Amino acid sequence: MDFEIPADIKSYLVELDDFIEREIKPLENENDNIRFFDHRREWARTDFEGGGLPRHEWEALLVEMRRRADKAGHFRYALPKEYGGKDGTNLGMAIIREYLAAKGLGLHNDLQNESSIVGNMPTVLMFRDFGTEEQKKTMIPGILDGSIRIAFGLTEPKHGSDATWMETRGVRDGDGWRINGAKMWNTGLHVATHDFVFARTSGPDGSAKGITCFIVPTEPGLQNRGVSVDLQHAHGSSAGLIYRRIHPC
């Protein structure tokens, strides 16, 4: 087995180092942004008076980091060239992300919230391989330009890692679905435009088959479209939801 890092990846690491020094480190240090990474970081990042949601200033900084990384051609490294990526390999991603993590906590890479100048966007490939043509046309460009943000609703109050026993159910209801259940640790829901809501639509409890992922829009006005989505305990960025009647995308 060859443990030598390929020459092209070695060269790319040097390129990333140069980008970090030119674009990311100055941004990290201006306007006291370093407070998000030093001993003050938990208070700086978290709006405790606002239910534990991430502070706007913190999320705005991450958006600017991603914008700069994308403009420089690094953020989409792992994606195919057709989506503005570099056709990065799994080996390349593993080496790059470990390298960036080893540099220590900073705006260039943060394992706590999966933030990095080299993005990890498996949802783009999921839509490419499994989405409908309409979903490909709308969801992929939106994910890439940041106008679409998707939360992940799998965990339930009584079911965590053993998700095959989830109690959320999806049943056909006219031209839509009736989804009954509750989710928690719905990461990113406070800023999401859509939510991946997992529900059992067939098969027995405990079976890996029969679980459907619904793509549920979260924008205001759902009530007027016959959809009832009630916040159960919307504290922090991992809010909980109770779903009733949904028209998925």
* pLDDT tens digits for range 15-66: 999 999 999 999 999 999 999 999 999 999 999 998 888 999 999 999 999 9
C-alpha dist (Å) from residue 171 to 149, 156, 180, 213, 246 = 26, 18, 9, 13, 10
Residue range 196-200: mean pLDDT, rounded: 92
Examine the pLDDT at 219 and tell me if it is beyond 80. no
Examine the pLDDT at 220 and tell me if it is beyond 80. no
Residue range 144-167: mean pLDDT, rounded: 89
Give the C-alpha separation, 242 to 223, whole Å: 14
Examine the pLDDT at 164 and tell me if it is beyond 90. yes
- Quick one: pLDDT at residue 177? 84
Among left, alpha and beta (phi > 0; psi -120 to 50; other), residue 174 is: left
Domains, the chain: 7-126 (no CATH), 150-246 (2.40.110.10)
- Quick one: pLDDT at residue 230? 46
**Structural element, H or E, at residue 19:** helix 7-19
* pLDDT tens digits for range 228-242: 444 343 333 444 455
* pLDDT tens digits for range 170-196: 998 888 888 888 888 887 888 889 989
- Quick one: pLDDT at residue 176? 81
Listed residue (59, 62, 72, 56) closest to 12, CA to CA: 72
Predicted TM-score (pTM) of this structure: 0.84
Cβ–Cβ < 8 Å for 179, 153: no
